[in-house]
Chain A
Amino acid sequence: MRRWRPQLSEWPRAEPHPSTCLMNHSAWNDPDPAEVFHPTNDTEWDAALGRYLGSLQDNPLRRCVQVARSLGAATLVVETRYIDLDYRSEFSAYYSKQFCDMPDTAHRLHFFGRRLTKRSIWRTARSAGYLGYVVVRPTSTGLVSRAMLPPPPDLSDAVRTSVTETVNFFGQDLTITGVPFAQQDAQLGACAQAAAWMCHFSAHLRGEAHRRPKADFSLKAPASLHPSRSLPSGGLTALQLSEVFRTFELPALFYDVGGLPSPGLVWQPPDPVPPIPEKPAGLWDFRIVAIACRHLNSGNPVLVGTTNHAFILCGYRRTNTPKPSWIEFVRHDDQTGPYGLVTDVLADVDPTTGKVYGPWRTMQVPMPEKIWLAPEMAERKGGESLQAASSRIFASWPGTKLFMGLDELIPLDRLRLRTYVIRSNAFKSGLAARGVATNIRRAYALARLPRFIWVVEAVDKALRDAGQPCVLGESVFDATSSDRDPQRLALHVHGIMWLQRTSGKTQFPIFGSYVPYGTGGRGAA
């Protein structure tokens, strides 16, 4: 096995390398069926992982282990001769055709929070605190075939696209919730394929797409849309990516940084003005933030393209550094590992490794086909409707007003909009836990709604920052409607609701409560 370990700076992107068979594969399938470790310090962890570390690009594996250790991993079970659907697909498409001998199986590394002995792995795993897995393929250019780990504790509130997978561990069903991660093998696939797979597998686990083996993300990409050979892969063009997502039941919404849409409501920040002399848009187009947040609020990962790399965003959080309400994103980068931090989208440097990503150029958001309405259009119409309704309600309210109208919040810089797409069934079932009044819940529950709806919430920023229920109302849109004519299904603010019936009539008035309630989007408001 090669012991030379490249520094991150030497790997701005993985290049195809001829040494995929330099990894030591002797006794790859041993021991049968598994090996159990109880490492307690760095040395013992390195020893447990010794057969993998030192390959050409082991940083993602190291980061996976770091995440597992941050969650309190006390037991590592290496399941040998694991037949991994994704690696098998790569093996069939590429590795089986190489001159050197390559194993056709992978290893699956399982992490547990409590001690699990080799003798008891077949019966007590459920009570051992399962922390997830990493599937390791026998290729030195890209070890992590896929991984499913919960976010580390310091980022658990920030991650918004988590999904749940059931894993069969020696006859026992274990569940794990996190954001799927994959590393390119730098031969059949590059970063674009890995990023696309992460988005797609997440959607698969949400029940929105069929499972697709990883090799398909290379084999099904139309070769005619790329000027070079498809193997070894030099990556994908944006069109190829779009075509792959379309073929795999998740047509992607495409954003070109520098020409990003914004709802343009009067109380929202004006669009940025391109600087003179000209600079790459990824250095000044702050609309990236709002666009990414809308999709992350929906639980959908965002695939970001720079000039020579692709990765996904899977969460965000607010901090007060360098200024109040600053947004930091959470990133899965196939070359550095899961759950990295993006501290500044317009000057993107990894705060841990120092890796310079460069200006962002594109964003793609794969989504179920029938979400045709774009979020910016829903927000444009929803925001204005909410403000207009609030004004009329506030002006007409009899007696003492026990709430602030949206017009009062605007000059105080307290009004925000939070937009997300959600399955209508999930929207309905989540209302009670959010503290929505009974009459409003009843009206929504009985309403005929399409499978997906866009929801535009009016949020009181002061309440949000104080960690209190902060939603003052929402406007709900049919996700199958047109960008040019978003169809509003419901409008509800300060406890008064208009509901569109499929008969064409509007049900009004429906009285609820002016008391704020919780958000229905993913994660904290």
Chain B
Amino acid sequence: MPEDTELPGYAKEALASLLPADPDELLSEQQKSSLQADLDSLARLRRDAEMASATLRMA
């Protein structure tokens, strides 16, 4: 079973220093905005589908 990245300690430190400690910072502001718009749209679609279900019948 793999135990590590096999990177030496100094390389890990260097790599970590180039990455954001907060994963939310991985996305640009535009990506975040687009993500929120998509989530809102998906949530609306979910509600609409549930409201449309009232008359469907299954034998």
Contacts and interface: CB of A to CB of B under 8 A. Distances in A.
Interface of A: 13, 190-192, 195, 226, 234-239, 241-242, 254-256, 259-261, 263-264, 305-306, 308-310, 361-362, 374, 376-377, 380-381, 384-385, 388-389, 392-393, 396-399, 432, 435, 437-439, 483-486, 488, 491, 495-496, 498, 506, 508-509, 511-515, 517
Contacts of B31: 384, 388
Interface size class of B (residues with CB under 8 A): 35 or more
A3 to B, nearest CB: 27
B26 A385 contact: yes
Contact of A392 (B14, B19, B22, B57): B19
B5 A438 contact: no
Nearest to B18: A396
Interface string B1-19: 1111111000110111011
Interface of B: 1-7, 11-12, 14-16, 18-23, 26-27, 31, 35-36, 38-40, 42-43, 45-46, 48-50, 52-59
B15 A389 contact: no
Nearest to B24: A488
B53 A511 contact: no
Given A13-B59, A498-B23, 16 more contacts: A237-B54, A238-B56, A241-B58, A256-B53, A259-B45, A305-B58, A376-B42, A385-B26, A392-B20, A435-B2, A437-B4, A484-B39, A484-B40, A508-B21, A511-B7, A517-B2
Contacts of B45: 259, 261
Contacts of A242: 53
A448 to B, nearest CB: 17
Nearest to B17: A396
29 contacts: A13-B59, A237-B54, A238-B55, A238-B58, A239-B56, A256-B53, A259-B49, A261-B42, A261-B46, A305-B56, A309-B59, A310-B59, A362-B58, A380-B39, A381-B35, A439-B4, A483-B39, A484-B36, A484-B43, A488-B23, A495-B4, A496-B19, A506-B23, A508-B16, A509-B12, A511-B4, A511-B5, A513-B6, A514-B5
A234 B6 CA distance: 64
B59 A190 contact: yes
A254 B53 contact: yes
Contacts of B38: 263-264, 380
A399 B18 contact: no
Q: Which of B35, B54, B57, B58 has the most CB of A within 10 A?
A: B58
Contacts of B20: 392
Contacts of A389: 23, 26
A136 B29 CA distance: 62
A309 B53 CA distance: 15
A377 B42 contact: yes
Contacts of B54: 237-239
A259 B48 contact: yes
Nearest to B22: A506
Nearest to B43: A483
A365 to B, nearest CB: 12
Given A191-B58, A384-B27, A491-B23, A512 B5 contact: yes
A234 B18 contact: no
Contacts of B46: 261, 374, 483
Contacts of A13: 59
A148 to B, nearest CB: 24
A509 B19 contact: yes
Contacts of B42: 261, 263, 374, 376-377, 380, 483
User: A192, A398, A517 — which one has the most chain B CB atoms within 10 A of its CB?
Assistant: A398
Contacts of A309: 58-59
A511 B11 CA distance: 11
A341 B17 CA distance: 52
Contacts of B35: 380-381, 384
Nearest to A497: B23
B43 A237 contact: no
Contact of B57 (A195, A236, A432, A483): A236
Contacts of B11: 398-399
A226 B22 CA distance: 52
Contacts of B15: 393, 396-398, 496, 509
A491 B27 CA distance: 13
A184 B35 CA distance: 45
Contacts of B7: 398-399, 511
B57 A237 contact: yes
Nearest to A403: B5
Nearest to B21: A508
Among A234, A254, A306, find the residue whose CB has the most chain B CB atoms closer than 10 A.
A254
Contacts of A439: 3-4
A255 B23 contact: no
A234 B19 contact: no
Nearest to A482: B43
A385 B19 contact: no
B57 to A, nearest CB: 5
A515 B2 CA distance: 7
A173 B21 CA distance: 53
B30 to A, nearest CB: 12
A484 B46 CA distance: 11
Interface centre among B3, B5, B27, B35 (most CB of A within 10 A): B5
Nearest to A511: B5
B35 to A, nearest CB: 6
